[in-house]
Amino acid sequence: MKFSQLIQAVRSNPDEVVVPSAWAQGRASFGGLVAALAYEAMSAKVSEGRPVRSLAITFVGPLEAEVPASFEAEVLREGRAVSQMFCRAVQNGQTVAVVQGSFGASRESAIDVQADPAPVIKPAEECQELPFLRGVTPDFTRFLAMRWGIGSMPFTNNPAREMGGWVRFRGEVEDEPAGIAHLLALVDAWPPAVLPHLRSPAPGSSLTWTIEFVQPLPTVGTLDWCLYRAEIDHARDGYGHVSARLWSPSGELVALSRQTVTVFG
């Protein structure tokens, strides 16, 4: 099932969404997709003219593939300019993810600070792509392409603090404007930035994830290469704290991300 079909499914019936096994990430469904589905459930209840500003996501447990799940969204508060939203993803009677979202309309302000420029790296065509290898790379990577231009791939015993490169949807998706749901998938497609430090494979996953979006969003297509860079702020005792950014193909800042990740190695 394509990404767009899953997004349409949660819009049509958020009380019963089934994620196919093709979108699996180990024993769980791809976290970027889970966040995207929760976002869509929340945005359906937000007043017009209030784009999402930030999402705070906690992955309580694995959302299993091929098992119905519900995305229960509610309005916590709706002020003059900002709507505070909440969504709980429930499967088999258990909460598997919770998402708090802040949606806010623009307002006049004397403050105007431009973002730092995007880093300069090799073009996507010159960077090494992580291939989809059934049984080796996560199943969901058949839908998302990543090309390394900063740091190294996972499990290469490289102690660098930074990792990243180019990311986009693969050709199975329609070439269309990327919305927030697409951007969530692009950012979370990347493995935890601590994994290149390991010399052999070991599981790792996101525990919590906070992401902020620059509004109005730059124009990005689903088949455009976006630039991603993550930096490890601290890692110890099986947990890593990682900050990251995503830029459009033209170098405009799109999103700022921060994750607490767990790693079993």
What CATH number does the domain containing 61 carry? 3.10.129.10
- Per-residue pLDDT of 153-207, as tens digits, reads 999 999 999 999 999 998 667 788 999 999 999 999 999 999 999 999 988 889 9
pLDDT at 40 (0 to 100): 98
Average pLDDT for 60-81: 97
CATH number of the domain where residue 190 is located = 2.40.160.210
Q: Does one domain contain both 41 and 147?
A: no
Residues sharing a CB contact under 8 Å with residue 61, sequence separation 6 or more, in sequence order: 94, 95, 96, 97
Q: Give the other-Cβ count within 10 Å of 161's Cβ.
A: 15
CB of 112 within 8 A of CB of 136?
no
pLDDT at 138 over 80: yes
Q: Does one domain contain both 155 and 260?
A: yes
Domain boundary among 106, 135, 164: 106
What span, in angstroms and rounded, lies between the C-alpha atoms of 162 and 138? 21
Strands 24-25 and 144-150: unpaired
Q: Does one domain contain both 89 and 156?
A: no
Q: Does one domain contain both 138 and 99?
A: no
Q: Does one domain contain both 144 and 230?
A: yes
- Per-residue pLDDT of 112-123, as tens digits, reads 999 999 999 999
Domain boundary among 66, 81, 106: 106
Q: Does one domain contain both 128 and 185?
A: yes
Band of the pLDDT at 27, cuts 50, 70, 90?
Answer: confident
Q: Does one domain contain both 125 and 49?
A: no
Residue spans of beta strands (DSSP E) within 46-150:
52-59, 70-78, 82-91, 94-104, 128-129, 144-150
Residue 245 amino acid letter: R
Token pair in block for residue 64: 């299993």
pLDDT at 265 (0 to 100): 80
pLDDT at 22 over 80: yes
Number of structural domains (the chain) is 2
Q: 51 or 27, which is more confident? A: 51
- The phi and psi torsions of 15 (rounded to 5 degrees) equal -85, -10
Q: Does one domain contain both 132 and 256?
A: yes
Domain extent, residue 222, equals 115-264
Q: Does one domain contain both 37 and 165?
A: no
Q: Does one domain contain both 144 and 206?
A: yes
Nearest alpha carbon to residue 97 among 106, 105, 88, 108 = 88
Q: Does one domain contain both 84 and 184?
A: no
Q: Does one domain contain both 89 and 125?
A: no
Domain boundary among 106, 126, 152: 106
Surface-to-core class of residue 212, CB atoms within 10 Å of its CB (0-12 exposed, 13-18 middle, 19+ buried): middle
- The CA radius of gyration of the chain, in Å to the nearest whole number, is 18
- DSSP H or E segment with residue 38: helix 31-43
Average pLDDT for 51-78: 97
pLDDT at 33 (0 to 100): 97
**pLDDT > 90: percent of the chain:** 90
